């Protein structure tokens, strides 16, 4: 309840708690708290122009730091560690565990065809924060089922052919992004997903 109250005070509605059992070789007694903050729709709709998106990303990163600090302050006796330190303790990268996989395990959404997390409230238009603790701060969530269904909007729009109906090739995506100039991003898969659009499936 106290964790919920802290997230409420920080105006965060998209959050959950994940067990790491079975996800990493040795969870060290840690569980994960994942939360997501929505991108401004204007920043996503302006893509591939990167100016608004970059500004929004920086602002969300600042908020994620403040929220992480607020949670740590609300639980001064807790054993909180951030994502970077957890990486070292739990070998997350070696176990193939990224922030979006943790967010999926914490019930925030599913991993879509685009390889992005697709949340019920904002589709893939979210920036993620992640904390770890050994304390029992609430109910463990279950990962939701994939709800991409027959949709292929991200695959259709992807300029690098990184996304197919049943696979995602990160190298094709990063190679394409390297060809773009400094003022241009891609993120078209985020923009195209119907689950994040204001007229989309869930909003």
In the complex, the residues that contact ligand SF4 under the rule CB under 6 A are 112-114, 118, 148, 151-154, 158-160, 162-163, 173, 176, 186-189, 192-193, 195
Instruction: Name the residue nearer to ligand SF4 (CB basis): 57 or 89.
Output: 57
How many angstroms separate the CA atoms of 60 and 16, rounded?
18
Report whether 14 contacts 171 (CB < 8 A).
Answer: no
Q: C-beta of 56: minimal distance to ligand SF4 in Å?
A: 16
Q: C-beta of 34: minimal distance to ligand SF4 in Å?
A: 18
Q: C-beta of 134: minimal distance to ligand SF4 in Å?
A: 34
Q: Which residue is nearest to ligand SF4 (CB)?
A: 112
Instruction: Name the residue nearer to ligand SF4 (CB basis): 76 or 149.
Output: 149
Q: C-beta of 90: minimal distance to ligand SF4 in Å?
A: 27
Computed from CA positions of residues 167, 169, 172, 173, in that sequence, does the dihedral angle turn out positive or negative?
Answer: positive
* Token duo for residue 31: 């569980």
Q: Which residues does 35 contact at the CB level (< 8 Å), separation at least 6? A: 7, 12, 14, 15, 16, 64, 67, 108, 128, 129, 130
* Token duo for residue 148: 């991409």
Instruction: Name the residue nearer to ligand SF4 (CB basis): 42 or 180.
Output: 180
């Amino acid at each position: 309840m106290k964790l919920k109250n802290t997230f409420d005070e920080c105006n965060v509605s998209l959050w959950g708690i994940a067990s790491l059992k079975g996800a990493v070789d040795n969870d060290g007694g840690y569980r994960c708290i994942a939360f997501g903050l929505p991108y401004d729709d204007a920043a996503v709709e302006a893509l591939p122009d990167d100016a608004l998106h970059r500004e929004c990303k920086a602002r969300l990163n600042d908020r994620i730091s403040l929220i992480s600090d607020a949670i740590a302050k609300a639980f001064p006796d807790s054993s909180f560690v951030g994502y970077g330190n957890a990486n070292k303790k739990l070998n997350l990268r070696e176990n193939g565990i990224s922030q979006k996989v943790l967010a999926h395990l914490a019930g925030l959404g599913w991993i879509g065809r685009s390889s992005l997390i697709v949340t019920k409230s904002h589709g893939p238009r979210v920036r993620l924060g992640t904390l770890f603790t050994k304390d029992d701060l609430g109910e463990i969530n279950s990962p939701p089922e994939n709800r991409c269904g027959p949709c292929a909007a991200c695959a259709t729009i992807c300029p690098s052919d990184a996304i197919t109906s049943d696979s995602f090739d990160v190298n094709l995506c990063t190679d394409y992004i390297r060809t773009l100039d400094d003022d241009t991003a891609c993120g078209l898969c985020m923009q195209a997903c119907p689950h994040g659009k204001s007229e989309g499936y869930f909003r």
